[in-house]
Amino acid sequence: SLLEWATGRVEYMLNKNSNNIENAGKPCDCGRCDICKVFGTGDAKTVDHIAKSSPDELPGPPRLRVYDAYLNHDSFLKLIELTEGLFTEIKTENQINRITSRANPRKVERVPAGAVFEGRMVFDIYKDEDVELLKLVFCGMRMLEDSYLGGYGSRGSGRVRFEDIKVIYRPKEYYLGRGQERELSKAQVLEKLNEEELVKNLKTLVGNSHAS
């Protein structure tokens, strides 16, 4: 992922698996880094090893859960009209061999520009220090806005932007029926979200919740 490149985990996996190219390209499985704590590690052997050697360093459950994002109603109606109910567009391209000059026409199916999807993410906090890990999520979102989703990004496909962002805090008391959820932050676009203030306020709330 983009975050693995940014935090050096790709280099770690390459060095660890220098004799095994297949494993070198897989997600980080160290079980100790922030990436593994946020997104989890699928290597059961690694977790078992940490449990036996350094149980205090166990990563625990993945902190982040990302749910499916669905097309919102306005985009749904717009795409029905524009695409005749197909909801995707077919972009025709033509690849030219630079040596033989042979043409290779092809078609690419992609989501039409301007489509809006509504999504939801849940970030679980098991320890006070988990609050800092939330910054990693926002970092990944910013990097994604400057990159792309899926293929053909070099041709302009896959560009995304996060809008109408709302961060809601639900303490354990909320689930026990003794508390209320609280809106911590709201921003029209990601760049307007004050992450430092958000994390600071969240630390205070988490500390108060644990103290009670």
Global confidence as pTM: 0.86
Tell me the average pLDDT across 3-29.
Answer: 81
Tell me the average pLDDT across 62-79.
Answer: 94
Of residues 54 and 142, more confidently modeled: 142
Q: Are residues 208 and 125 in contact, defined by beta-carbon separation less than 8 angstroms?
A: no
Q: How confident is the model at residue 57 (pLDDT cuts 50, 70, 90)?
A: confident
Flag whether pLDDT at 137 surpasses 80: yes
Indicate the residue type of 62. P
Give the chain's mean pLDDT: 89
Lookup: tokens for 184: 């911590």
Q: Out of 94-103, 193-202, 203-212, give the one with best mean pLDDT.
A: 193-202
Q: Are residues 95 and 106 in contact, defined by beta-carbon separation less than 8 angstroms?
A: yes
- Tell me the domain boundaries of the chain: 1-61, 63-67+120-212, 71-110
* pLDDT, position 65: 97
Which residue, among 46, 35, 41, has the nearest Cα to 61 in the 3D structure?
41
Indicate the residue type of 175. Y
